Structure 1
Amino acid sequence: MKQSRVCSWLGVDYPIIQAPMAGVQDSALAIAVSEAGGLGSLPCAMLSVNDIANQVSLIKGSTSKPYNLNFFCHDTTEYNEVKHHQWRELLKPYFDEFSGHYDATIKASSRMPFSHDVADAIEGFVPPVISFHFGLPDAELLARIKRWGTKVLSSATTVEEALWLEENGVDGVIAQGLEAGGHRGMFLSKNISTQVGLVSLLPQIVDRVDVPVIAAGGISDARSINSALALGASAVQIGTSYLLCDEVKTSALHRAALKSQRASHTALTNVFTGRPARGIANRIMKDLGYMNENVPEFPYASMEMAQLKALAEQHGSDDFSSLWSGQNVSGCKEISAFELTRQFAEACDAVS
């Protein structure tokens, strides 16, 4: 692992990238993983421009190791009042259950795409790596990033997406298998039947592109890391296994679900944000159907669900919470992310 060419390319000791997990982490997790010799990642899609700058400042002040900044680059659609009214009517019985109501004055999305304003805020830091979800930013923005000498990664959920990313200038492709938790990075199609598991996806992408390929989805131990590397991956990206670590801000309800038998049942759903994402199955997913055609467009769909989630969690219920998780929680440990990263690396060295 230590001699991997991608390690030299990224400037890390081990070909281990911590998956960015918006909503449950800040710079602390990224710092711990980078200090351990992996590539720590900071999810920026749910942060304001000022918060992004502050978090990157914390990373730069705490480690001299490389790090990754992750952004969404989705197209923003117009807010559809009719669609949201219908959605609120569907959710009203749940609000009534907790004697609560929806605040309709809130019409701002909590997830923003990468922009020149964000680029202005981070340019001075010269981030070593930037990764994207949902494709790539426009050519002008991408060219601006590359002028900094920053390496650019992006997620592909199909061979076609991987080829598109390579043709449009990405430096590395993250092959996101169907097992992965959180949002699917799919951007060329909305059809979830196109999504396949990592063992099928990874070798196909490796055979078709010339850039390094990072494997993501279901990776939790030495066996799965070595299997991914044997299938041609240059590195692995691990997310779910970090969700119980000391540096992560996973809620008590989410942690309890991850440690329970419930974690064995995850599913893709669009009910929380309007885009397919994998999480532990709960009441709202089952009641409304995992993929519901009435859900408003991403990213605005999260406005109603965020309020319902907050209301229910005040009553100790995770029935309406987005319990993001991959299909394999066996690697989750309640230890520091630094120690977990080292355990992954040492275990792989021992069997490689």
Structure 2
Amino acid sequence: MKKANDIFGIKYAICQAPMLGVATPEMVAAVSNTGCIGTLPLGGLPTSLNEQLILKTKSLTNKPFIVNLFLNPVVDINKEEIDNMQDELTNLGKQIGYTHQRIETFEQDGYTQNLELVKRLGLKYLAFTFGCFNDQEIEELHHHNIYLIGTATTVEEAVFLDNKGIDAILLQGIEAGGHRGSFLKDSLEDNLPLEDLFDRVFPLVNKPIFVAGGLYSGQIGKKYLDKGAAMICYGSLYIGSDESAAMDYQKELLNQGKPVETKLTKSFSGKFARGILNEYINYIDNSNNSIPYFPIQNILTQKLRSFAKQKKIHNFNSLWCGTNAHYARKESSFNITNKLIKEVYDL
């Protein structure tokens, strides 16, 4: 089975994970410039902005990098559910001086335009999450020599992607920060710690397996390479980096080196995501109202989150990170990656 070195033409089988809102072109390029590979998150962003981000990354490195898309389906509108949530957000906003403006229409952009952008710009490595391409799309993308990397949170999802002919499977352990890549079930059922997930999936699939979730050192990652993983992916480790777009508050909190309490919650976006437990999460999760599914809840809370970020009211913002995020390193992404290389390859 191929290793990442052969797949991407890179020197080291180490990847920086696609953290929307954290990863920047500068971070992605810095990682790729070490001989590893960075991932640029495009999911949920306008195509025009994504083109700028891709071109910026290309201007900073001539090395390969991966781009990541969201394949979430368009969901039905439940007006009663949405109205109830908007009432909750109105009441909650009063606590911090935020006035919730009720939203009546919900634009749910598909991934088609971003997919066309990937093809037009000649990108060769495409990761995706929250779903899977259909057979026709897979055939067409392969016709364009685009290497496809699908995200799986369960054994069932990994086998599904393998049967679909996806080129590589990224296993996301329950420890991972940010959104779960789940797409067959909207639950945490069958979501396993990374080690258990890898051990169960590895004998069942024929494709290269990449692993992510809770990795915080080269030594931990090396164990997966030794067991047969094709690549090891690090996310939260980069939250505190110089190139990270994370809020300074989160960087400083993680830089203290003490574990932080995280929780998997739908409260901000309508899809399970792991982040630092705070007042907002407790309020919404403990309310009696159902939470509209992604991306509806994400749209409903967008302005509240922006307000909280602007006013530095951190108890009302999403601070995505994994269970081992307190190992985040406060230095350049280039140095963080070089230290990982030394740890993984005993250099």
Cα pair 1:267 1:290 within 8 Å, conserved: no
Percentage of pairs with the same residue: 26
Match of 2:210 among 198, 209, 214: 214
CA positional deviation for 1:145: 1.6
CA positional deviation for 1:30: 1.0
> Helix, strand or coil: the match of 1:193?
coil
CA distance in 2, matches of 1:292, 1:215: 36
CA positional deviation for 1:230: 2.8
State the partner residue of 1:234.
230
State the partner residue of 2:33.
35
State the partner residue of 2:339.
343
279 and 33 in structure 1: CA distance in 2 versus 1, 3 angstrom threshold: same
The 5 A counterparts of 1:105-124 are: 105=103, 107-108=105-106, 112-115=109-112, 117-124=113-120
CA distance in 2, matches of 1:40, 1:220: 16
> Are 1:160 and 2:151 counterparts?
no
Match of 1:135 among 128, 131, 154: 131
CA distance in 1, matches of 2:120, 2:306: 36
State the partner residue of 1:51.
49
State the partner residue of 2:268.
272
Which AA in structure 2 matches 1:278? R
Cα pair 1:45 1:113 within 8 Å, conserved: no
> Are 1:183 and 2:179 counterparts?
yes
State the partner residue of 1:285.
281
State the partner residue of 2:9.
11
CA distance in 1, matches of 2:270, 2:287: 9
313 and 53 in structure 1: CA distance in 2 versus 1, 3 angstrom threshold: closer
Q: How many residues align?
A: 346
279 and 262 in structure 1: CA distance in 2 versus 1, 3 angstrom threshold: farther
State the partner residue of 1:171.
167
Summarize deviations over 1:168-205 as a string: whole Å, max 9, x none.
11100011100000111111112213211011001211
State the partner residue of 1:243.
239
279 and 250 in structure 1: CA distance in 2 versus 1, 3 angstrom threshold: same
CA distance in 2, matches of 1:106, 1:34: 43
> Are 1:103 and 2:131 counterparts?
no
> Are 1:201 and 2:231 counterparts?
no
Summarize deviations over 1:98-147 as a string: whole Å, max 9, x none.
232112247445x84421x2222221322121001022122222222211
Which AA in structure 1 matches 2:164? N
CA distance in 1, matches of 2:75, 2:278: 28
CA positional deviation for 1:91: 2.1
Give the stretch that moved more between structures: 16-25 or 96-105: 96-105
CA positional deviation for 1:324: 0.3
- Structure 1: gaps (5+ residues): none
- Structure 2: gaps (5+ residues): none
State the partner residue of 2:252.
256
> Helix, strand or coil: the match of 1:90?
helix
Which AA in structure 2 matches 1:247? E
> Helix, strand or coil: the match of 1:305?
helix
CA distance in 1, matches of 2:280, 2:178: 17
Q: CA RMSD in A?
A: 2.0
Cα pair 1:18 1:39 within 8 Å, conserved: yes
Cα pair 1:212 1:233 within 8 Å, conserved: yes
State the partner residue of 1:84.
82
> Helix, strand or coil: the match of 2:296?
coil
Cα pair 2:256 2:326 within 8 Å, conserved: no
State the partner residue of 2:293.
297
Which AA in structure 1 matches 2:237? S
Cα pair 1:268 1:291 within 8 Å, conserved: no
TM-score (norm. length: structure 1): 0.92
Give the stretch that moved more between structures: 309-318 or 215-224: 309-318
Cα pair 2:67 2:127 within 8 Å, conserved: yes
CA distance in 1, matches of 2:28, 2:139: 26
> Helix, strand or coil: the match of 1:323?
coil
CA positional deviation for 1:291: 9.7
Cα pair 1:18 1:40 within 8 Å, conserved: yes
CA positional deviation for 1:14: 0.8
Which AA in structure 2 matches 1:350? D
Which AA in structure 2 matches 1:233? A
CA positional deviation for 1:159: 1.0
